[in-house]
Amino acid sequence: MPTTDPVIEARNLTKHYGPHAVVQDVSFRVAAGQTLVLLGPSGCGKTTLLRMLNRLVEPDIGVVLVNGHDVRDQPAEQLRRGMGYVIQQVGLLPHYTVAENVAVVPRLLGHAPAAIAARTTELLGRLHLPPERFAGRYPRQLSGGQQQRVGLARALAADPPIILLDEPFGALDPITRASIRREFRELPELRRKTMVMVTHDVTEAFELADQILLLDAGQVQQLGTPRELLLRPANDFVRRFFAAEQLGLQLRALRLADIMAELPQASDTIILTYSESDTQPLSLTATIQEALAQLGQAAVPSLGESAEARVWVRPTETAAPADFLPLTYATLMAAFGYAVRRLGIEQP
């Protein structure tokens, strides 16, 4: 779990290019194990702000602290070697094989060749790039999604505690992007990392972020959890920014715990035939979107249109199977509708 002491702290960062203020008085803190997403429209200062964290851009005003230490107190190259950095263009060295690309930073840090080889094999396997097939290939022999995973492996190779990501999935087509994002979110390797990621994709931000920093014209519009930005927008810009995708974001922001009080009201419909899910019961921390996905897996077309998919919800961590609660599409979406009205979420 994230601790209260920040791993990364930005204080009053400001950057001008000529008379234009690209970043204006931005402050934030990122605790250990958290993911902060920098979100906003094109040209709002997201990438400039990210690049200040590893000193690829120096602020005119303000300071960046990593583990309580001013980043200016160590050479920039040394600072960057302690941070993974993933960019949209991937930046793989074309004359290096996949294995050689992954090994670049550990070699610079003087790691033992055997340890580098073992780490490379481990990461390629975790990222669904079997080393026996991919280690000897060159970047030109890979798809865009494969190159992106090699870039991520390279960022993780030296096991840095901090990962910076600049539009890491931006060059991918929508289907590949969603798949890679899902794999990324589930990687055990990333669960203990502190990450700051730039994106302009709202869905991506809601799926990956613990905290979102929403920017416009270099200024902070709101900093908070995805749920806070959706349910309690700080101003009209925040409200408008999420309006077009509000339903999908509600499904990702609300959890089963938010709708449990409404389930008795939503249980009037009697279904005579159910198709059961054989997956694990859902916990109350599951999102509505995750519940819908599990219901989709439970559907069995052969039972006919009268059959309705059903999954089970564990109301407490210690609940016995006899106390699990049934959930269908009808009860889930009815309860979701009641919860939206109760929470006062504005509709576009």
Could you tell me which of 23, 34, 27 has the C-alpha nearest to residue 10? 27
Coil, strand or helix: which one is 247? helix
The model's pTM: 0.80
Band (171; pLDDT cuts 50, 70, 90): low
Greater confidence (134 vs 1) lies with: 134
Q: Cα–Cα–Cα angle for 36, 41, 45, nearest 5°?
A: 65
Angle between helix 329-343 and helix 288-298 axes, rounded to 10 deg: 170
Going along 32-159, which residue ranges are E strands?
35-39, 61-66, 69-70, 83-87
Q: Which amino acid is at 94?
A: P
Q: For residue 307, what are its two tokens?
A: 């059959």
Token pair in block for residue 97 = 């094989």
pLDDT of 52 over the 70 cut: yes
> What DSSP letter does each residue of 165-228 carry, written as one string?
EESTTTTS-HHHHHHHHHHHHH-GGGTT-EEEEEES-HHHHHHH-SEEEEEETTEEEEEE-HHH
Spatial distance between the Cα atoms of 206 and 214, rounded to a whole number of angstroms: 12
Contact criterion met (CB below 8 Å) for 27 and 11: yes
The reported pLDDT for the residue numbered 269 is: 45
Whether 80 has a pLDDT exceeding 60, the answer reads: yes
- What is the model's pLDDT at position 102? 93
Determine how β-strand 282-283 pairs with β-strand 307-314: parallel
Helix (H, G, I), strand (E, B) or coil at 235: coil
Comparing 101-110, 206-215, 285-294, 295-304, the range with the smallest average pLDDT is 295-304
Supply the pLDDT for residue 298.
Answer: 73
Between CA 65 and CA 79 the distance in angstroms is 11
Q: Residue 69 contacts by C-beta under 8 Å, 6 or more apart in sequence?
A: none
Does residue 98 contact residue 180 with C-beta atoms inside 8 Å? no
Strand spans (E) along the chain: 6-17, 20-31, 35-39, 61-66, 69-70, 83-87, 162-166, 194-199, 211-216, 219-224, 273-276, 282-283, 307-314, 325-328
Q: Where are the domains of the chain?
A: 6-253, 256-343
The pLDDT score that the predictor gives to residue 279 is 61
Rounded mean pLDDT of 253-262? 86
Q: Output the pLDDT for position 211.
A: 96
- Is the CB of residue 100 less than 8 Å from the CB of residue 91? no
pLDDT at residue number 3: 47
Q: What is the pLDDT of residues 263-312, one digit of tens each?
A: 765 554 444 444 455 567 888 888 898 888 888 877 655 444 545 788 88
List of residues 6+ apart from 58 with CB closer than 8 A: 52
- Average pLDDT of 141-158? 85
**Which of 71-80, 86-95, 112-121, 216-225 is the least confident region?**
86-95
What is the rounded distance in angstroms from the CA atom of residue 331 to the CA atom of residue 271? 11
Record: fold of 6-253 = Rossmann fold (3.40.50)
Identity of the amino acid at 198: V
Q: Residue 32 — pLDDT band, cuts 50, 70, 90?
A: very high
Share of the chain above pLDDT 70, in %: 88
Average pLDDT score over residue span 218-232: 93
Task: Give the model's pLDDT for residue 330.
Answer: 86
Q: What is the mean pLDDT of the chain?
A: 85
